[in-house]
Amino acid sequence: MTPFKIQVGCQSVVGNYRENNEDNVFSDLATGLFIVADGMGGQLAGEQASKMAVENGPKRLHERLAGVTGDKQIAEAVRQAILDANRDVMDLAARHPEFQSMGTTVVLALVVDRTVFIAGLGDSRAYHIRPNKSIKQLTTDHSLAQALLEAGTIAASEVKDHRFRNILWKYLGSKEVGVGPDIAMVNPAVGDRFVLATDGTYGVLADADIQNIVTNEPDPQKAAESLVDLALQNNSRDNATCITLYLD
């Protein structure tokens, strides 16, 4: 149970340039679990991978959370569940040649009691917004451009337009997943907002755009729609998807 009243908005569109939507979302107020996934590897493979993220991910997490209490234990259950889901994707790809290149980003938020757990693989992102105060990115992109930044090879100003910004080295379905995702644990205040988004949404928005929309729009569904609409207006060339969470 959580002391917060959670309100949620979801929006996912094909966009102006793609023929199909390889993004998928999962939203369940009853369990406090919310997931955004952005598939890759071609139409069939990408759609299947992101579908597995939002179908197998919740099942694996439910299994891992059985009888688990305490923030550290819950965080470890989330990490292990994502590793389980990663094996599911890799196993399917190994059995079916048409899915050999399948993979997907995944970013999730799990609200348990007074803690929000955030985890991600790939470059879909989670943001924490304190209305009229701050916006913070809670996930790290697992792109080659971000890796170059962390290695000191390029400057922060170069990342957004770098030729490797969309090349991922870690994602769901990757052999390089290692120990899995880092887990962020946030103790939110009443009124806080969270946004889960694919790069087709946040990639053409400034942080200030995201903060302004969720701060000034009291309806999370309208906020999600506004974020995606603005991304399309800003010439997003990908599927555009986001989930908005309001804690009141």
Which range of residues forms the domain containing residue 233? 6-247
- 98-124 mean pLDDT: 94
- 144-156 mean pLDDT: 73
Q: Domain with 183 in it: what CATH number?
A: 3.60.40.10
pLDDT at 166: 73
Q: Name the domain count of the chain.
A: 1
pLDDT at 203: 93
- Per the domain annotation, does 144 fall within a domain? yes
- pTM metric for this prediction: 0.94
| Residue 156 pLDDT greater than 90, yes or no | no
pLDDT at 2: 77
- Per the domain annotation, does 29 fall within a domain? yes
| Residue 43 pLDDT greater than 70, yes or no | no
pLDDT at 3: 83
pLDDT at 1: 61
Q: What percent of the chain has pLDDT over 70?
A: 96
- Per the domain annotation, does 121 fall within a domain? yes
- Per the domain annotation, does 52 fall within a domain? yes
pLDDT at 109: 98
pLDDT at 113: 94
Confidence band for 97, pLDDT divided at 50, 70 and 90: confident
- Per the domain annotation, does 1 fall within a domain? no
- What secondary structure, in 3-state letters, does the chain show? CCCCCEEEEEEEECCCCCCCCCEEEEEECCCCEEEEEEEECCHHHHHHHHHHHHHHHHHHHHHHHCCCCCHHHHHHHHHHHHHHHHHHHHHHHHHCHHHCCCEEEEEEEEEECCEEEEEEECCCEEEEEECCCEEEECCCCCEHHHHHHHCCCCCHHHHCCCCCCCCECCCECCHHHCCCCCEEEECCCCCCEEEEECHHHHCCCCHHHHHHHHHHCCCHHHHHHHHHHHHHHCCCCCCEEEEEEEEC
Please state, in angstroms and as integers, the Cα–Cα distance from residue 241 to each residue in 22, 35, 83, 107, 197, following that order.
Answer: 10, 11, 24, 12, 6
